[in-house]
Each structure stands twice: as structure tokens, then as C-alpha cells.
Amino acid sequence: MIKIKNQLISSLYDFDKIILLTNFNSRGNFMDYPNLKTNIFNKPIIVVEGIIGAGKTTLTQILEKELDLKAFYEPVDANLYLKEFYAEEARIRAGGEKPNKYAFPMQMELMYQRFAMHKSASWEVALFNENKGVIIDRSIFGDRVFAKLLTKYGNIEPIMWDTYQKTFFILSQDFMPPQYMIYLDTPVKTAWIRARGDAGRNREQETPMENDDFYNYLIDLKQEHENLIKEIEDGLHSWSKYIEIIRVPWENNLDPEEVSPVIKDIKSKINL
């Protein structure tokens, strides 16, 4: 049974790879291939993006149930470099020099994890019929925002950023692109309050910064997310044209009465 399963996964990997790579032209862009918009299995891959504290996990949990989706959640605790990264940040704040030696390997590890998660999502829509599609709580695309910001802060050197970019480009060609990106447009102040007050998510360990530093970080993070949305809308990536952006104002929408019309609007746009 295990041998058959491994052969099936291997053949699916090759099939997935062939479907995507044979539809790239010489300029590295997807050719017009009508099935890629909904993918050949007619089940959407949906990614949810937004800054820390935006409410991505909350919305993902709601849509998982409301739309009958298989959910893949953000693997924060699985990153072996996180503790070391913040220890280095403390050293730098105490007067040490940049860069943070753990910033680059941490972001590479996260990129590999998110790539594996997206591949699993691709296999899910191809192999199983239990759900109507999949939803991913932050994707490899959104995670690049964090690496980009660390580079701007001087924690990742330009030569390492180039390596990150090359790896990202290669990996992002090797899975089915998502059909929808739900962007939670949450005010920074709201996200800051949520993140600092969310004891259940252990946010202090996730972002152990002083309050003012964390607030300013969220400001920069929101701007970089806006830049990501613009990159997609301007078609700057090979996968951009196949993603429909659904921008959701998500400030007071944790109240059940206020969630309902928002979910209804999302459902109408995704058309499941």
C-alpha cells in the first residue's frame, strides 16, 4: 500500500510539474491555458494574506467550514530558527552589528515549509474529493514580504536576497497557482491590539519586540503587503494573471453579526 501511495504521489508530482512547466513560454510567463484559471481539477486554491494580527487564521477557520474547504495553517512553531533569530535581534538592539545571521536561514526554512504546504494543497485538489477546494493561511507569496522587509532592515544581505529571489522564482513555478488571494485590509492599530492581546497564539514569542518597535514594524509590513498586491495586479510575476485579488476590510469583523455579510460577499466572488 505504501509503495502504491508513493508511486501515486510521485506520478502526481511529475504530472503537476508537466502541466505547469510546459505552459511557460520563453519569457518565463504562463501561456494562455484556460484550465489554469480554475486548475484542471475545478477546485480552487485560496490563499489568505495580511499583516500579523490581521485575522487570517480566524477567517481561514470560518471559510474552512462555510465553503467546505481543506485548510492549511501557518506553521510558525515549526521554524527551528525563530528563537535564535530573536536572540540575535536582542544582541543587535543592545548595540551589536547587523546583519542578523539567522534571518536568511529562517526565511529560507519558512519558504521551504510553505512550498511543501502549497504542494500538499495541490495534491489535495488532485487526489481527494472530500472538500470543494483548499485554503492556505499565509502562502509562500506572502512570506516573501517578510524576507523583503528583513532585507530592507539590513538583516539579510543583498547577495542573500538575490539567492532567496532565485529560489522563490524556481519554486513558484513548480505548483498550481492559487486562483484567489483574500487580502485582509486591517488597520495597523487594530492588528497591533489583536496581536498583543492574543494570548492563545503566544504572540510575544512570535514577535518579542517592544510595543513601539512592533507598531512601526506593522506599518512597514502593511506597506509591503500593499506592494505585493500591486505587483500581482500589475502582472509582475509569472503567476500573477491567474490570481484574483479579493480585498476584505477586516477591522470589526470578528463579531459574528458583522462577519456574515463579509462571508456572503466572499462566497459570491469565489462562486462555490
Amino acid identity, residue 22?
T
Cβ atoms of 76 and 82 within 8 Å: the answer is yes
CA distances from 248 to 65, 175, 217, 252 (A): 18, 26, 22, 11
Q: Cα(139)–Cα(256) distance, rounded to whole angstroms? A: 26
Cis peptide before 99 (omega within 30 of 0): yes
Is position 220 annotated as part of the catalytic site?
no
Amino acid identity, residue 142?
G
Marked catalytic residue, from 16, 32, 137, 143: 137
Q: Which residues contact 120 (CB under 8 A, 6 or more apart)?
A: 72
Question: Which residues carry out catalysis?
Answer: 137
